[in-house]
């Protein structure tokens, strides 16, 4: 299978570097990138043997990696939000309970996989409910490159989601053996998962090459609650902060993704950095209640980066209201600029929503999605002549994102190419 695609490629390779290749030819053979060529080289290809696709009126960008989302929270995205802990108890947990039904879960996984594709999310880190089949269904149906984990809830949880410790450990043993590096050990957060379960399961996944993901320091009353619980538990009475709880349970490391990390002290940031733990930042989820978020606060990316910590963007569906990573990028730029933070560019947002996530799942991956030998994978965004005439990738992205309404972002992705064909 041999294809030549004519288009305009936006190629973010770092926070500040993003090549714009106008009217170039991408050669794809057997699902792999063979090279990017100037339009004048078209005659050198034997067009009787190569499929030629003219997308000269499109922008082509790498696929999105959503590094923190809950696929079982699709229906609570627009539920009233007050604060994290009440939203969980009132809406989210009762909803996740529905996924105990295997048929329901399967049906929803199939429909959610279509939603992911529609917004161009082809990879990322995903939370399911406590039920092991919700991991199976996600990994079976989502197309692309996802890690998935079942949340663990062995304390401070409603009866209908509360697990026996031995059952929770058994599920982790089964699924981490079955899915290995596609699996993420996922204590919901320290409030709902006993330290014994966290420690025992960390030992298990140390041998399966799996990831670990959980929530850390998302809101201030969550932090107070966590510390009030752990200060009563043996082995934790002298614990100084939230990060230290996970550290004592062997949960930090270069395959760990912590959601949020908004309120970390400098001591905690040092520990996160030293362990090479990653943070998933979810600006729409953390954003104002009036904009559909939980009002948790704004993550300080500049300070986090100054400690050398890796971070990437996530939608945090359903605390985040929209699945499109375009909306997440918009929110990241807008909230930071409103604070006078001018390093929050659209290029940075695009990089943190695409290649950064892929590099967390695959540290060996190449910087550019157009690199020879890469699996061909990309999103097609239709573009007017006027848009394509703008001077830079930053201006083009800004125009695309700021002229789209929030509930129309899912219409921006025209087509998704993966390997040898459109999906
Ligand atoms: N902390 C614990 N569980 C959750 C969840 O489902 N969503 C968010 N945003 N934070 C959490
Ligand atoms: Fe979350």
pLDDT digits (tens, 9 = 90+) for 116-149: 999 999 999 999 999 999 999 999 999 999 999 9
Ligand nearest to the CA of 161: 1
Q: Give the chain's radius of gyration (CA, Å).
A: 22
The CATH T-level fold of domain 2-62+368-422 is Urease, subunit C; domain 1 (2.30.40)
Mean local confidence (pLDDT), 331-349: 97
Q: According to the model, what pLDDT value does residue 177 have?
A: 98
Question: End-to-end alpha-carbon separation of the chain, Å?
Answer: 15
Residue 215 near ligand 1, beta carbon < 6 Å: yes
CA 29 to ligand 1 center in whole angstroms: 42
Residue 84 near ligand 1, beta carbon < 6 Å: yes
φ, ψ dihedrals at 386, nearest 5°: -60, -40
Burial of 318 (0-12, 13-18, 19+ CB in 10 A): buried
Residue 353 near ligand 1, beta carbon < 6 Å: no
Signed CA dihedral, 239, 241, 247, 251: sign only:
positive
Of the candidates 2, 5, 7, 21, the one whose C-alpha atom is nearest the C-alpha of residue 53 is 5
Beta partners for residue 127, in sequence order: 70, 149
Residue 185 near ligand 1, beta carbon < 6 Å: no
Of the CA atoms within 13 Å of residue 238, those in its CB half-sphere come to 1
Boundaries of every domain in the chain: 2-62+368-422, 64-323
CA 269 to ligand 1 center in whole angstroms: 21
Of the candidates 221, 234, 230, 409, the one whose C-alpha atom is nearest the C-alpha of residue 327 is 409
Atom 11 of ligand 1, residue of closest alpha carbon: 215
Domain 2-62+368-422 identical in fold to domain 64-323: no
Residue 176 near ligand 1, beta carbon < 6 Å: no
Segment 5-23, tens digit of pLDDT: 999 999 999 999 999 999 9
Signed CA dihedral, 149, 187, 259, 109: sign only:
positive
Residue 312 near ligand 1, beta carbon < 6 Å: no
Segment 155-206, tens digit of pLDDT: 999 999 999 999 999 999 999 999 999 999 999 999 999 999 999 999 999 9
Under the banding of pLDDT at 50, 70 and 90, the label for residue 1 is confident
CA 20 to ligand 2 center in whole angstroms: 33
- In whole angstroms, give the CA distance from residue 291 to residue 71: 21
Ligand 1 atom nearest the C-alpha of 192 is: 2
Q: According to the model, what pLDDT value does residue 105 have?
A: 98
Compute the mean pLDDT over every residue in the chain, rounded to the nearest whole number: 97
341 neighbors 302 (Cβ within 8 angstroms): yes
Ligand 1 atom nearest the C-alpha of 215 is: 1
Segment 209-253, tens digit of pLDDT: 999 999 999 999 999 999 999 999 999 999 999 999 999 999 999
- In whole angstroms, give the CA distance from residue 360 to residue 258: 12
CA 319 to ligand 1 center in whole angstroms: 7
Angle 165-179/195-205 helices, nearest 10 degrees?
20
Token pair for 411: 């219409």
- In whole angstroms, give the CA distance from residue 294 to residue 353: 21
Residue 138 near ligand 1, beta carbon < 6 Å: no
198 neighbors 187 (Cβ within 8 angstroms): yes
CA 188 to ligand 2 center in whole angstroms: 8
Ligand 1 atom nearest the C-alpha of 218 is: 10
160 neighbors 187 (Cβ within 8 angstroms): no
CA 215 to ligand 1 center in whole angstroms: 7
Of the candidates 347, 384, 371, the one whose C-alpha atom is nearest the C-alpha of residue 56 is 384
Task: Give the residue, out of 66, 70, 156, 284, with the most ligand 1 atoms within 8 A of its beta carbon, to mutate for a pocket test.
Answer: 70
**At CA 17, angle to CA 13 and CA 23, rounded to 5?**
85
- In whole angstroms, give the CA distance from residue 98 to residue 345: 40
Segment 313-336, tens digit of pLDDT: 999 999 999 999 999 999 999 999
Atom 1 of ligand 1, residue of closest alpha carbon: 215
Residue 226 near ligand 1, beta carbon < 6 Å: no
Class for domain 64-323, per CATH?
alpha beta
Segment 25-60, tens digit of pLDDT: 999 999 999 999 999 999 999 989 999 999 999 999
Residue 88 near ligand 1, beta carbon < 6 Å: yes
CA 47 to ligand 2 center in whole angstroms: 48
CA 284 to ligand 2 center in whole angstroms: 11
Instruction: Kindly write down the DSSP assignment for every residue of 88-142, as one continuous string.
Output: IIIIIHHHHHGGGSHHHHHHHHHHHHHHHHHTTEEEEEEEE-S-HHHHHHHHHH-
């Amino acid at each position: 299978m041999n294809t030549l695609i004519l288009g305009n490629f936006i190629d973010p390779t770092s926070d500040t570097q993003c090549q714009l290749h106008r009217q170039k030819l991408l050669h794809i053979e057997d699902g792999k990138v063979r090279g990017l060529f100037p339009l004048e080289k078209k005659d050198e290809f034997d067009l009787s043997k190569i499929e030629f696709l003219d997308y000269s009126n499109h922008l082509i960008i790498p696929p999105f990696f959503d590094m923190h989302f809950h696929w079982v929270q699709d229906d609570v995205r627009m539920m009233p939000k007050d604060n994290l802990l009440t939203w969980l108890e009132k809406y989210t947990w009762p909803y996740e309970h529905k996924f105990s039904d295997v048929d329901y879960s399967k049906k929803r996984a199939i429909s959610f996989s279509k939603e992911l594709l529609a917004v161009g999310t082809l990879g990322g880190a995903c939370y399911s409910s406590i039920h092991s089949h919700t991991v199976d269904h996600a990994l079976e149906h989502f197309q692309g490159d996802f890690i998935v984990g079942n949340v663990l809830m062995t304390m401070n949880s409603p009866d209908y989601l509360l697990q026996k410790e031995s059952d929770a450990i058994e599920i982790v043993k089964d699924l981490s053996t079955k899915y290995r590096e596609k699996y993420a050990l996922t204590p919901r957060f320290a409030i709902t998962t006993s330290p014994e379960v966290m420690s025992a399961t960390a030992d298990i996944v140390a041998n399966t090459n799996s990831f670990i993901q959980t929530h850390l320091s998302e809101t201030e009353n969550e932090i107070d609650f966590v510390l009030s619980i752990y200060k009563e538990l043996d082995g934790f009475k002298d614990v100084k902060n939230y990060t230290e709880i996970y550290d004592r349970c062997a949960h930090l490391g270069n395959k760990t993704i912590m959601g949020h990390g908004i309120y970390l002290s400098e001591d905690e940031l040092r520990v996160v950095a030293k362990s090479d733990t990653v943070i998933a930042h979810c600006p729409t989820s953390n954003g104002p209640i009036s904009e559909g978020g939980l009002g948790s606060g704004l993550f300080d990316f500049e300070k986090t980066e100054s400690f050398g910590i890796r971070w990437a963007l996530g939608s945090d569906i359903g605390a985040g209201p929209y699945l499109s990573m375009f909306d997440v990028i918009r929110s990241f730029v807008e909230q930071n600029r409103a604070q006078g933070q001018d390093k929050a560019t659209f290029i940075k947002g695009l990089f943190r929503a695409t290649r950064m996530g892929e590099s967390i799942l695959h540290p060996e991956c190449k910087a550019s999605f157009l690199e020879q030998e890469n699996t061909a994978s990309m999103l097609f965004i239709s573009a007017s002549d006027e848009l394509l005439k703008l001077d830079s990738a930053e201006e083009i992205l800004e125009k695309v994102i700021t002229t789209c309404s929030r509930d129309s972002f899912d219409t921006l992705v025209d087509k998704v190419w993966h390997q040898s064909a459109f999906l």
